[in-house]
Amino acid sequence: MKSLKIIWQKGKEENPFAERMNLTYLNLEKALMTLTPILLEMGVKVEFEKVDVEGRPKELKDWERRILIEDKFVEDLLDIETRQSFCLGLCGKVCDVLCKDKIEEIPEHLIITAVFNVVREKLDKREV
C-alpha cells in the first residue's frame, strides 16, 4: 500500500475560534472522510497529521493556517490565493475592496481536487 501525506499546519498561538481557519479545517475533515475510502480502493493510504508551528516569517501574513499535500501547499497546487478575515493591507482598506480575487476559506471540493491532482501526478510517475 502506498501513502499520501496530508498535513494541517497551524500556528501554536492561533486563535481556535478564527472563522477562516475553522472553516478550512472543517472542509479538510470532510474532504478526508470522502477521500479516505476512495484512495484506499486505489491502494493509497492517507497519512494525516496536525502540526503546530511557531514564529512566523515576516513576509508571510497568513502562513500558519495551511494544508500541505506531499509537502506542497494546497494554494500552490491549485494556483489560488487566500486572504485573512480582517486584513487591512498597506492601503488601509478591508480585503473585500482589495482582495476580491482571493478566497476566504478553502472549500472541500478544492481540497479534493488538489489531492487527486497530486495522486494522478504520482501515479503517472509511479511514486505513490
Helix (H) or strand (E) holding 8: strand 2-11
Each residue's pLDDT tens digit, 9-34:
877 766 655 655 678 889 999 999 99
Q: C-alpha 55: how far from its chain's center?
A: 19
Cβ-proximal residues to 18 (8 Å cutoff; 6+ apart), any chain: 65, 85
Residue 13 is predicted with a pLDDT of 66
- Beta-strand pair 44-53/2-11: parallel
Give the integer Cα–Cα distance in Å for 67 and 57.
17
Percent of the chain with pLDDT over 70: 65
* Sequence ranges of the domains in the chain: 2-125
Percent of the chain with pLDDT over 90: 34
